[in-house]
Structure formats: C-alpha cells, structure tokens
Amino acid sequence: MTAFSAMIALAPQARDADLVGRGGGRAAIRLLIWTALWATVLRNIGGSVGAWAEGSLGVGVTFLIAVAIPVWLFVVFPSWLAFRFAAPRGMRRLALAACWMSPLVRLRDLPSIAAFFDAAVDSPFRLAPWGELPADTWTALASALQADRRRAPAHAARIVDALAHLPAGARFPWLARVHGVETLVLSAVARRDWPAVARYARLGQGRLVVLLAMVARAARGDDVPAFELWIAWLRAPMRRALLPIVRTAVAQGQAVVTADVPPRARATIHARHVAMLEAAARHEELRTDDVMALAAAWQPAVDDAALAALHARALELGVRDGGARAQALREQVLDELALLLARADGELPRAPAHPFADTLAARAREGEIARIKASLAAFDADAVGPSLPPLAAWERWLALRAAWERAEQTAGRAALATLWRTGVRDRLWSYCCAVSHSHGTRAAWAAHMMFDWLADRAEVAGDLVAVLANRENARIALASLR
Amino acid sequence: MTDADDVENLMRERLANPFLVLAVAPSASAAEIERQGQRLLAELAAGLDGARRYETPLGMRERTSELVRSAIAELRDPARRLGHEWWARGLAAAVAV
C-alpha cells in the first residue's frame, strides 16, 4: 500500500455541516430559543423580585438573585434535570429535552446521549439503530454499559481502557465523565464487583464516582480513613441508597462488602493456582510478577522427580502411558499459567530465573502472537461498509489493540516489528481507511484513535512512512470532529 | 470464547474436582469412592442440608446429584483419576488447613 492510497480525505461536509448545513440551522434555532426563554425567565425574576423588594436588597442578595441563580438555572439545571431526575425515572423525552436545553451538551451528541439513555434503562436503541449512530464517547459508554450488564467484563474492560487512553484532542465530554461513567460504575456496584468499580471509576469525575472509588479501594484492602469516606458520602448524591455500602465499608475497615466473597486460599501451590484463576475470572488485576512467582512455586511440583513419582502412581493405578500422562499434567499447568500471564499486567523478566519460567515465557509469547494473528482475520477492508457500524468497527479494533499491547509486554520488539511488517500494517491500515471512508464524520472519533495508535506502533517498528501517513490521517480525522 | 471465559471454566473445573465433590481422600479406594458417592446421592435425594454443599479452598460450593454422578464416573477411569488425584492432593490439603 502506498502512503497516498492510505490517506483519507477531509470530508468537506465535516466543517460546513455545523456552520451552514442542517446542523448549523438547528444550532441557530437552539440558540434563539435559549436566548428567548432565558431572557424571559431573567426578566420575570428581575421584575418580580425587584417589585417585591423595592430596592431593599443588599449587594450580595442582588448578585445571588440576578446572577448566580440564573447562571445555575441556565448552565447546570438542565443537565441535572436530565441525568439526575428524568433519566433515572425512565422519562426519556424529558431527559432529552433537558439535554437539548443544556449549554453543556453539543447538538450532535444528542443521538448518542439518547442511545446512552436507552442502554441505561436496558432497552434497544430507539432513536437510531447502531448503524446510524456515530462512534463517540457516549455510544462507547453505552456499549460498555451493555457489556457490563451482559456479563462480558473483558469487552467492557477493553472499552474502558481505550477511553482511559484517548489520544490528545479526542473528546470526552464532561457530562459523560460525570454521568455516563457514574451509570457504568453503579452497574458494577449493583453486583458488588469492586475491581470493576475501581477500573471504571478511573474514567470519571464527580462526587458519586469519587465516593464509589474510595469504597472500591477499601474493598481492595487499601487504608481508607472512615472520616474521608463519610465526608465523601455526605457530598455525594444517592446518599440513602449508598448508606449501607458506606456503613459496611467503614464498619469492616479493610474487608468491605465481602460477604459473598469466599476466603482466599494460600496454603498450597494448587490452591494458590486456583485462587489466581478465580482472580482472573473476576477480572481483578493480576501482576506478571505474581504469576511468575506462582510459576517458580510450581517448578518443584512439576520437575522430573515429581513427574517420576506421578508416573509410579500411574503404574499403581494401571494407567497406560503413565509417563505421557504425567507430562500432560505439566503441560496443562504451563498452559494455565500462560493464560494467566496473558491477563497479567507488567513486563516479563528479561532473564527468567529458572527453566520452567523460561518455557512459560516462551509459551506466553507464542500465545500472544497467535492471538494477534487470529484477530487479524476480522480486519478485511473490503468487508467494511454500511453493514459494519462505526462503533462495531472500533470495538473490533479494540480486541487487536488489547492483544498487541499485551504482546508488547511479552513478545519483544523484534517479534512485533516482524509481525507489523508482514501482516498487521497493511491490513489494519486499509481497514482504518475503509472505516473512515465508509462512515465519514460518524467514524471520525474512532478513526482518530485508530490512526493515532497505528502511528505510535509504526514508530516503535521504525516504519517512518506509516508514521507520517497515519499522523496525517489522525490529524484529518480530528479536524473533521471540530 | 474469551480468555475470561477460559479462566472461569478452568476455575470451575478445578473446584469441581471429584475428590472434593465426594469429600474423599485422594488415596481412597474405588470401593470407598463408590460407597461415598451412593451415600451422597441418597442424602441429596432425601434433601439433607449437609449434603448440598462441599468444601473447596475458595469456600463452599453447591453439590448436586449430577455433580456427584459425574464425579463417580470420572474416578472410574484410572487415567482421569490420575489427573484428578494429582490436583486433589494440593486442593484437599488447602481445604484441611
């Protein structure tokens, strides 16, 4: 692929639409209605209060009535009405009308916010089908919320990780950080999944998210002072609903809300292994060092002497191919450790301390490379079209991104550079261009992220042509968002 | 299938170790295993509370008659028993701790 063919064109409608097109017309009408409505409200407040007070009000009260309250009514109240009052009660139309009135909401975000409201009440998207929705922060959060509720934590975690590492310039609206993330966090709180709460809360802002992040830290065993928890609870909304959780967190100190969490076994290597599988299944954070420590502990249990003892037991039981059976158990342990390693964070040690760890590291590397190659099959540029919505195209890329970034910690730069040049570069690049061409501005947010990621990977692989072309593509995608 | 599904299935498989389900020692003879299995099936059929749960290193799990029958069948095959026995030696020790 040449750099020229892999460039995307700046869609002329991108900038013009908001200024003079239908989008611009709607924005102008919205501004006019705002102006008329708020001017009327302000005039009525001023007129009534002025007539009632007859000049007796001091400077402070006048400022409060004439400036602070109207500003709050104009800026904060509509979004409060939408997200705190109407949406939780299922009043979708009122919530959307309030969003339309809010100066904190961009007009073009409204379809995505409507989709988010639908996801929040767990109903199918009504305003527009997935294919017509843009890929943006709101639809990404809606998708993460659906994944979280449908017990697909890996999918939700990939979306959240991508949102936590947005490239410079990518939009993450303030309301999405506060209310969108809040809904996602509350979904995890409902099933007491504190690792997920902590993971989601990193994206968000706001008093409720801060409180729930503190409770999640306490559940993890961190030292969270009770005083700080109570202060955060006092400041947060939904105080009555959250009181039992906070009370439990305070009462139990470090062991919060763990009534349904079984005690952790630490006694034997087998039990430690199963406990780590459980932690991985619960999407708790695993560290590479911990998996390697487990592997080190396994070594004497699967070395030649241990396998010989197992072989002897196989003979007692009358098992044919006892040696092969014993070896298969060792391979099974290695496979399971490699699977755990694939879920763990942190780089593999440069020089493994023992042969078992060396074998494990090699197996983990092979697994990561195989995972990337398998996921590449989905990136067919010719198959990209209206049938593949922008958000689905972005989510498909997230799977490859997760596998690649994990491989960066295990497979080494040389192996990835080879993989980049032989398979990933052209296929993924064509795919991103096809998504961008096919969906235009609706895919611009996603395209910006994908091109920026491609440029970063090309830089690591020393592929200057791909770096320059993808940086330019990312810039064009970003420009079409403005 | 995702990695998360894989690890969850593996964890369930390990915790459904037939020796843990039947609450017998890894060194138990075939006759002891059969006897314990039939006793548990009878207790489950009678609805005894004590038979409905079994101990694992990660806490109590639900025991069903299907799980008991499957455990008995697994341990009748010597090759399968070898693997279960190997895991059970470590897991049962953790339960006993």
Nearest CA to CA, how far is A95 from chain B (Å)?
A: 36
In a domain, A335, yes or no: yes
Tell me, yes or no, if the pTM score tops 0.80: no
- Chain A residues whose C-beta sits inside 8 Å of any chain B C-beta: 152-155, 262-265, 267-271, 273-275, 277-278, 280-281, 283, 301, 310, 313-314, 317-320, 322, 325, 328-329, 332, 336, 339-340, 342-343
pLDDT given for residue A9 in this prediction: 58
pLDDT given for residue A12 in this prediction: 46
- Checking if the pLDDT of A319 tops 60, the result is yes
What is the overall mean pLDDT for chain A? 84
Q: Is B79 close to A325, i.e. CB distance below 8 A?
A: yes
Q: Is A404 found in the same domain as A354?
A: no
Q: CB burial class (10 A; 0-12, 13-18, 19+) of residue A237?
A: middle
In a domain, A440, yes or no: yes
- Checking if the pLDDT of A213 tops 90, the result is yes
Q: Is A419 found in the same domain as A338?
A: no
In a domain, A286, yes or no: yes
> How sure is the predictor about A128, in pLDDT bands with cuts at 50, 70 and 90?
low
A325 contacts on B by Cβ (under 8 Å): 79, 82-83
What are φ and ψ of residue B58, in 5° steps? -105, 20
CB pairs under 8 A between A and B: 100
Option in B78, B83, B93 nearest A318 (CB) = B78
**E strand or H helix at B56, and its extent?**
strand B53-56
Residue B77 belongs to what domain range?
2-96
Range list of H helices, A354-389:
355-376
Q: Identify the weakest region by mean pLDDT among A105-114, A226-235, B86-95.
A: B86-95
- Nearest CA to A376 out of A454, A428, A421 is that of A428
- Checking if the pLDDT of A84 tops 50, the result is yes
CA separation, residue A254 to residues A214, A224, A234, A277 (Å)? 11, 8, 20, 23
Spatial contact of A245 and A265, defined as CB atoms under 8 Å apart: no
Q: How far apart are CA A233 and CA A237, in angstroms?
A: 8
Q: Is A414 found in the same domain as A333?
A: no
**Residue type for position A122:** D
Nearest CA to CA, how far is B32 from chain A (Å)?
A: 15
pLDDT given for residue B33 in this prediction: 95
A153 contacts on B by Cβ (under 8 Å): 4
Q: Is A313 close to B85, i.e. CB distance below 8 A?
A: yes
Sign of CA dihedral A93, A96, A102, A103: negative
A268 contacts on B by Cβ (under 8 Å): 57, 90-91, 93-94, 97
In a domain, A304, yes or no: yes
Q: How far apart are CA A168 and CA A230, in angstroms?
A: 36
In a domain, A353, yes or no: yes
Q: Where is the domain boundary, A308, A329, A363?
A: A363
Q: Where is the domain boundary, A301, A330, A363?
A: A363
Q: Is A307 found in the same domain as A402?
A: no
Q: How far apart are CA B5 and CA A76, in angstroms?
A: 43
Q: Is B11 close to A278, i.e. CB distance below 8 A?
A: yes
Nearest CA to CA, how far is A274 from chain B (Å)?
A: 6
Q: Is A271 close to B81, i.e. CB distance below 8 A?
A: no
**E strand or H helix at A280, and its extent?**
helix A269-281
Provide the domain count of chain A. 2
> How sure is the predictor about A459, in pLDDT bands with cuts at 50, 70 and 90?
very high
Q: Is A301 found in the same domain as A343?
A: yes
Q: Is A396 found in the same domain as A304?
A: no
Q: Is A334 found in the same domain as A397?
A: no
ipTM for this model:
0.90
pLDDT given for residue A387 in this prediction: 78
In a domain, A437, yes or no: yes
Nearest CA to CA, how far is A267 from chain B (Å)?
A: 5
Spatial contact of A439 and A10, defined as CB atoms under 8 Å apart: no
Q: Is A386 found in the same domain as A476?
A: yes
- Checking if the pLDDT of B2 tops 60, the result is no
- Checking if the pLDDT of A259 tops 60, the result is no
Q: Is A336 close to B79, i.e. CB distance below 8 A?
A: no
Please name the residue of chain A whose CA is at the shortest distance from the CA of residue B4: A281
Nearest CA to CA, how far is B53 from chain A (Å)?
A: 14
- Checking if the pLDDT of A225 tops 90, the result is no
Please name the residue of chain B whose CA is at the shortest distance from the CA of residue A329: B83
Q: What is the pLDDT of residues A132-150, one digit of tens each?
A: 788 999 999 999 999 998 8
Q: How far apart are CA A375 and CA A396, in angstroms?
A: 9
Provide the domain count of chain B. 1
Q: What is the pLDDT of residues A418-431, one digit of tens each?
A: 889 888 888 999 99
CATH code for the domain in which residue B46 is found: 1.10.287
- Checking if the pLDDT of A241 tops 70, the result is yes
Q: Identify the weakest region by mean pLDDT among A349-353, A452-456, B24-28.
A: A349-353
Q: Is A317 close to B81, i.e. CB distance below 8 A?
A: yes
Q: What is the pLDDT of residues A28-43, one digit of tens each?
A: 888 888 888 888 888 8
| Higher-pLDDT residue of B94, A172 | A172
Q: Is A350 found in the same domain as A386?
A: no
Q: Identify the weakest region by mean pLDDT among A159-163, A223-227, B20-24.
A: A223-227
Strands A344-345 and B53-56, bridge-based pairing = unpaired
Residue A277 belongs to what domain range?
264-363
Q: What is the pLDDT of residues A373-408, one digit of tens each?
A: 888 888 887 777 777 889 999 999 998 998 888 888
- Checking if the pLDDT of A261 tops 60, the result is no
Q: What is the pLDDT of residues A267-306, one digit of tens each?
A: 789 989 999 998 888 878 888 889 999 998 998 888 889 9
- Mean per-residue pLDDT for A426-450? 91
- Chain B residues whose C-beta sits inside 8 Å of any chain A C-beta: 2-4, 6-8, 10-11, 14-15, 56-60, 78-79, 81-83, 85-87, 89-91, 93-94, 97
Q: Is A317 close to B78, i.e. CB distance below 8 A?
A: yes
Q: What is the pLDDT of residues B69-91, one digit of tens each?
A: 999 999 999 999 999 999 998 88
Q: Is B10 close to A262, i.e. CB distance below 8 A?
A: no
